[in-house]
Structure 1
Amino acid sequence: MPRGEIFFDQRPRKRPEQLFGREKEVEKLLRALNAGSWVSILGPRMVGKTSLALAGANTFARNNGYKVIFVDLRDTETFREAAEKILGRLPKSIIDTLSEYLSEVSASAKGAGFSIKLKKSVSAKRALSDALFKLNNTILILDEVQSIHQGIRHFLRALGSAFNENHSLLVIFTGSYSGVVKKLFDATYGEALFGRPPIEIRLAPWKETVAEQFLRTGFKRLGIEYQDWEIREAVRELGTLPGWLNLYGVKRYIEKDHRLALKTTIDEAVKEAARELEHLLEGRSPKARAVVKLLALGASWRDMAQTGISEDTLSRLLSTLSEGLFIVQKDEDAGVYYFTDPVYRRAAMRLSLSP
């Protein structure tokens, strides 16, 4: 079978027709870009943020004579590191104009762009601002921007200057709502972006009917024999985040065995979800960890308050888990909060009470 016909793919999708069940979100992203707005695509890991960003940006670029620059900011903790990584993905013609800021320029070991090092005496904010000002008709995708922990204010000020001075530059941010991306909207950081927060697109997990149809469609296209109970079990055990279901589809295509594909997918998914929960709990008290563990079994407000966590802190934590990550919901009749996502439920049960 030709490689281009594969339905399940662990790499991000780059065209709208490759996305499944995200037509409304693609349309909203294109409307925002056409309006000259910057955009933040928010949601939990594996929900398809990067795919939506790339598919929408590539469509807009193709129709409007723009180019797309994608920067993966995972494992980038400081603004200076982020600035160097962004600069390294810019066209060589722009990098050549920035020599006063650079101490090293070499081919990237990963084969994409350049490896850049700023001079120690140079301001990263000034170097990035200068570079962004020179980008014409460009969509800059800053993927997983929540990884940046140090220098956020300088980062946002550089972006704010670019927003004001370079009207042909569009930026798409992707990241977890529970991470630093949220600071783009916080009042504390409003000044840095000159009071012009990006348009929000929050990606929620699929509905069960969409998740099941995704698997059925893929299996039929690839000629994979399946039973309906296998589809239902996969969705019940993995939830409806597209990334987990896509990974299961890849493994099912390769292994031709439902049980083996499901088990290995669950193992990988729980590890990734545990990392996301650890990131969410970073810097929080052990009381917040205790709350998350209680939620794995379902807990009332009173149950969670008995950990000693303050009402305000508990309210903000639940808001992040429900409105930001879409993984916690409240049963209004029973008054119980619980994880709606089975992978995160498993990950929460395995959390230790100390970091």
Structure 2
Amino acid sequence: MLFDLKPKSRREEIFDREKEFEELEKSIERYPLTLLLGIRRVGKSSILKAYLNENPGILIDCRELYAESGHITRDDLIRELQSKGGIFQRIASKFRVKLNLKFLQIEPRDASLREIFRELNELGEKTGKFVIAFDEAQYLRFYGSRGGKELLALFAHAYDSLPNLRIILTGSEVGLLHDFLGIDDYESPLYGRVGGEIYVKPFDGETSRAFLRAGFNEAGVEVPEEKIEKAVSILDGIPGWLVLFGSKYLETHDFQRAMDSTLSIAKGLLLGELSELERRSRRYVGILKAISLGYNRWSLIRDYLELKKMKTPEPRLHELLKNLKKMGWIEEENGEYHLTDPLAKLALR
């Protein structure tokens, strides 16, 4: 169902993303490395899971690995790869090939990531290709003691020498992921290695309305057009929020109760994300509050911070704004800054 709150895992469950699927398939055919990018809750993970449901590959949740301890170790990653044994068995059965992955049978401390990638490349030779996907890959910069450089070197090795292995990296903090990969940075192991990039954007107004209509029709529920219009005017085109509202409306059959519940849940999720952001610098949240209140030009943000006793030197303010753009919280147009998620205002009050 379109309004199922669980992440989608089949292509037919995903609304109006045919273009993104086509671009993803072409990129994986053409490039050893593909980036799937977009802001939070826009549907990247669902697209990726649906693709992997049809093609041989595994998915590593980097945010979950990071959340356990605040960093990612080599053994953490190897254990996660070893936990996919059931998926490897299903792939082998589907393609009627013999599974001979030695790394599944040894202790993490005795395994080598480079050797694991070589084994997956050999599996890809039998299945046509094999995909290893890293969801929210910007968290890989917390891998090891060198800011993930060892992994970048491994990716470069796979790019150059493992023709049957494909790597997909998703990221909602697009700028941070680009910085981490350093494809344009001469000192990065991935320097000069061109990959594909697919941007998953929020729905436009018409697509958002069509999505809600389709979800309600699927459930056999009639909803007046003015309520659909009002929902889109509040939630904009973020698929995650539209799904949540649709689900709550099917529970309550009452617009206001459904919207109140949606906004309450959204606020809770966003408060958690803002709390994580504030641990990096309280000025990040100060800047977002300024923008949410309409102080959306550089000089206005500077003055707002000073008023709130967070006076910030000009170079530092430029850096903070640049980082917020890289993390996907804000965008800039004609010198004005805007929140990428309209519901972030709720958590910034």
TM-score between the two structures when normalised by the length of structure 1: 0.77
Matched, 1:270 2:276: no
Match of 1:165 among 154, 161, 164: 161
- 1:18 counterpart = 2:21: no
- 3-state SS of 1:162 partner: helix
Root mean square deviation of aligned Cα = 2.9
- Give 3-state SS (helix, strand or coil) of 1:46's partner: coil
Equivalent in the alignment of 2:102: 96
2:210 to 209, 213, 219: 213
- 1:294 Cα deviation (Å)? 0.8
Taking the aligned partners of 2:273 and 2:123, their CA distance within structure 1 comes to 33
Relative to structure 1, the CA distance from residue 324 to residue 257 in structure 2 (aligned partners, 3 Å threshold; closer, same or farther) is same
Deviations 1:107-155 (A, max 9, x none): xxxxxxxxxxx22xx5764454454444412122212223342321122
Note the residue ranges of structure 1 that are not aligned, 5 or more in a row.
1-5, 62-66, 104-117, 350-355
Q: Does 1:27 align with 2:22?
A: yes
What is the CA-CA distance between 1:211 and the residue it aligns to?
Answer: 0.9
The number of equivalent residue pairs is 316
Partner of 1:142: 134
> Given the superposition, is the C-alpha separation of residues 42 and 83 from structure 1 closer, same or farther in structure 2, using an over 3 Å criterion?
farther
Moved over 6 A (4+): none
1:286-305 alignment runs, 5 A limit: 286-299=282-295, 300-305=297-302
Quote how far apart the aligned CAs of 1:246 are: 0.8
Matching of residues 335-354 of structure 1 within 5 Å: 336-339=336-339, 341-349=341-349
The 2-side partners of 1:76 and 1:180 are apart by: 18
Give distance in 1, aligned partners of 2:34 and 2:228. Answer: 34
**Superposition map of 1:255-266 within 5 A:** 255-266=252-263
**Counterparts of 2:248 and 2:170 in 1: how far apart (Å)?**
27
CA gap 1:127/1:179 in 2 versus in 1, 3 angstroms: farther
Offset at residue 320 of structure 1 (A): 5.3
Unaligned runs of 5+ in 2: 67-71, 90-98, 306-310
1:191 aligned counterpart, secondary structure: coil
Whole-Å Cα distance in 2 between the matches of residues 290 and 176 of structure 1? 21
Q: Give the superposition deviation at 1:33.
A: 1.3
The 8 Å contact of residues 330 and 337 in structure 2, kept in 1 or not, is answered as: no
Instruction: Return the alpha-carbon distance in structure 1 between the equivalents of residues 204 and 164 of structure 2.
Output: 37
Change beyond 3 A, Cα 1:269–1:185: farther
TM-score for both structures, normalised by structure 2: 0.78
What is the CA deviation profile of residues 168-219 of structure 1, one whole-angstrom value per residue up to 9, with x for unaligned ones? 1112111222575331246458622253253222222111221111101211
Distance 1:181 1:124, change over 3 A: farther
